[in-house]
Chain A
């Protein structure tokens, strides 16, 4: 793969305190176009806090976020989403009892004009959602309910959604937890497909170091609110990262 060049998101010296305890201390990193970053760390290392700041759930105490060179402030998750930051939670954020295409466009519906009244353009939304899901490799009718899908397929719907809406930064919060071995493999391949087809940068947060190595370009290790390691995946090994996280020798193999 060619060297990724254009920067997408730059985080500068972000600090966040809860009750005088540092959750994040001087966090700075930059992500580039078509780059997958694995963000790992033990429980309480500050991964969730960092994600929540990036999706606009709460503002940082100090520090700045730049999106494609421009400084941004997110007032709410909806605001961050409109500016191009999409998050996929561990339990995919979908309404179970609604159709695929409704979930796909929920909150960002396409509207057409019939005469002088404005109505939802259901045909177009069905078509687009089916096309996008096909592209990342699942064949489902858009009328199917989400509750009839498997965990991996649900995630694919969210990925497809991010894909369609021109997301700049895709945050994946533990996307592989709770998936079967086969589904993990498919999930990773889908993430790769999306990376290849768009120019977004993907931040992949997980506990499981083994899942990020096949796809990530860089690994960032957080520990007690600080970045203790930021290396290209070529220059490091699973064992090294695992030891950094656990602070003791652990043999995975």
Chain B
């Protein structure tokens, strides 16, 4: 019996496992309160938006693990859906070309962030220049999007544009397929390639990583590029799903996604976290939003709920870690 409890405690201490259990418990409670939660329509909504949020959290994770932080997420999502709309509707570009240009833009934004961050990185911690630069980008990109659209939403997409986010492979929404593809790629590179080890080592201790001969700058620039690329892709997906190019899409996501990353067990200190955790974080954040809607509570409570969750998980992790330290001493 004691063995079982110890085994249980050991697995419970794994971030992904305890988050999973909590999500299941939470959805069960909601089910008791309001059975509408489990209608196919709502489940589909959860899967689609959960996947979109997860993609954003994965992008954020790529910044957080090597020791940075991405505050430009809102701006990147905003500019990418607006750019896609402008290219397709105002200039009549082919859809694939417009999406490609947007993705390249996202990549370039990540590249500038990475270059700026690593240029100042020693003597400063990587976090500081990246924090400032992405904060600046968030304002500038949102502003540029406003200038381009004059803050009017752009409507009237061809139906094929919506297919990017609304198509389905049998019962699986295409967005989830994107998420799975990204997940498989990340897991391969994180856990089965040398770059994964170097990536985590960079976040845990960049000084040591540099000394053992890892090209810390290269790793960070790659991470930033991929992170912003994912955000830009998420921006296109949101724009396509809502069939609108608007400056209002994007900036509001920033704080929920950051919260999602922390809920998913990705540490602000760097070097900690996993793609699975990020996905759980993304789904949790959307789940909270969804629950508020399903239970017909005022939307204003959404923020309160997310905040409470964040506090709960952070305290849970602190407690777990403190106990681990006490046990080891």
**Assuming A96-B204, A97-B271, is B194 touching A111 (CB within 8 A)?**
yes
Of residues 264 to 282 in B, which have CB atoms within 8 Å of A's CB atoms?
Answer: 271-272
Q: Tell me which residues across on chain B come within 8 A of A229, comparing CB atoms.
A: none
Of residues 92 to 128 in A, which have CB atoms within 8 Å of B's CB atoms?
Answer: 93-98, 102, 105-109, 111, 117-120
Number of interface residues of B (CB under 8 A): 22
A148 touches B201 (CB 8 A): no
Q: Tell me which residues across on chain B come within 8 A of A106, comparing CB atoms.
A: 197-198, 201, 209, 212, 214
User: A77's contact among B188, B213, B271, by CB below 8 Å, is which?
Assistant: B213
Question: CA of A89 to CA of B215 in the docked complex: distance in angstroms?
Answer: 19
Q: Tell me which residues across on chain B come within 8 A of A148, comparing CB atoms.
A: 328
User: B192's contact among A82, A96, A107, A119, by CB below 8 Å, is which?
Assistant: A119
Residue A78 at the B interface, CB < 8 A? Answer: yes
Residue A34 at the B interface, CB < 8 A? Answer: no
User: B208's contact among A76, A78, A95, by CB below 8 Å, is which?
Assistant: A95
Q: Tell me which residues across on chain A come within 8 A of B197, comparing CB atoms.
A: 98, 102, 105-106, 109, 120
Q: Tell me which residues across on chain B come within 8 A of A96, comparing CB atoms.
A: 204-205
Question: CA of A120 to CA of B196 in the docked complex: distance in angstroms?
Answer: 10
Q: Tell me which residues across on chain B come within 8 A of A82, comparing CB atoms.
A: 213
Q: Tell me which residues across on chain B come within 8 A of A87, comparing CB atoms.
A: 211
Of residues 183 to 219 in B, which have CB atoms within 8 Å of A's CB atoms?
Answer: 188, 191-194, 197-198, 200-201, 204-205, 208-215
Number of interface residues of A (CB under 8 A): 25
User: B213's contact among A94, A107, A118, by CB below 8 Å, is which?
Assistant: A107
User: A89's contact among B201, B210, B211, by CB below 8 Å, is which?
Assistant: B211
Residue A47 at the B interface, CB < 8 A? Answer: no
A120 touches B193 (CB 8 A): yes
- In the complex, the chain B residue whose C-beta lies closest to that of A79 is B213
Distance in angstroms from B233 CB to nearest chain A CB is: 24
**Assuming A111-B194, A120-B193, A120-B194, is B213 touching A98 (CB within 8 A)?**
no
B192 touches A120 (CB 8 A): yes
Question: CA of A97 to CA of B211 in the docked complex: distance in angstroms?
Answer: 16
Of residues 33 to 91 in A, which have CB atoms within 8 Å of B's CB atoms?
Answer: 76-78, 81-82, 87, 89
Question: CA of A105 to CA of B193 in the docked complex: distance in angstroms?
Answer: 12
- In the complex, the chain B residue whose C-beta lies closest to that of A119 is B192
Q: Tell me which residues across on chain A come within 8 A of B200, comparing CB atoms.
A: 98
Question: CA of A76 to CA of B217 in the docked complex: distance in angstroms?
Answer: 14
- In the complex, the chain B residue whose C-beta lies closest to that of A120 is B192
User: B198's contact among A76, A94, A107, A111, by CB below 8 Å, is which?
Assistant: A107
**Assuming A120-B193, A148-B328, is B213 touching A95 (CB within 8 A)?**
no
A95 touches B201 (CB 8 A): yes
B204 touches A97 (CB 8 A): yes
Distance in angstroms from B219 CB to nearest chain A CB is: 11
Question: CA of A117 to CA of B185 in the docked complex: distance in angstroms?
Answer: 12
Question: CA of A106 to CA of B198 in the docked complex: distance in angstroms?
Answer: 7
Question: CA of A87 to CA of B213 in the docked complex: distance in angstroms?
Answer: 12
Q: Tell me which residues across on chain A come within 8 A of B211, comparing CB atoms.
A: 77, 87, 89, 93
- In the complex, the chain B residue whose C-beta lies closest to that of A81 is B213
Question: CA of A93 to CA of B208 in the docked complex: distance in angstroms?
Answer: 5
Q: Tell me which residues across on chain A come within 8 A of B205, comparing CB atoms.
A: 95-96
Question: CA of A93 to CA of B205 in the docked complex: distance in angstroms?
Answer: 10
A109 touches B194 (CB 8 A): yes
B208 touches A94 (CB 8 A): yes
- In the complex, the chain B residue whose C-beta lies closest to that of A57 is B211
Question: CA of A102 to CA of B208 in the docked complex: distance in angstroms?
Answer: 13
Question: CA of A93 to CA of B210 in the docked complex: distance in angstroms?
Answer: 10
Q: Tell me which residues across on chain A come within 8 A of B215, comparing CB atoms.
A: 78
Q: Tell me which residues across on chain B come within 8 A of A107, comparing CB atoms.
A: 194, 198, 212-214
Q: Tell me which residues across on chain A come within 8 A of B204, comparing CB atoms.
A: 95-98
Q: Tell me which residues across on chain A come within 8 A of B194, comparing CB atoms.
A: 107, 109, 111, 120
For the complex of A and B, the 6 pairs showing the least CB-CB separation, nearest first, are A78-B213, A109-B194, A119-B192, A107-B212, A107-B213, A93-B211
Listed A/B pairs (14) with beta-carbon separation below 8 Å:
A77-B211, A77-B213, A78-B213, A78-B214, A89-B211, A93-B211, A95-B201, A95-B205, A96-B204, A97-B272, A102-B197, A106-B197, A111-B194, A118-B193
Q: 8 more A-B contacts (CB under 8 A) besides A78-B213, A89-B211, A119-B192? A: A78-B214, A81-B212, A82-B213, A93-B208, A97-B272, A117-B188, A120-B191, A120-B193
Residues of A in contact with B (beta carbons under 8 Å apart): 76-78, 81-82, 87, 89, 93-98, 102, 105-109, 111, 117-120, 148
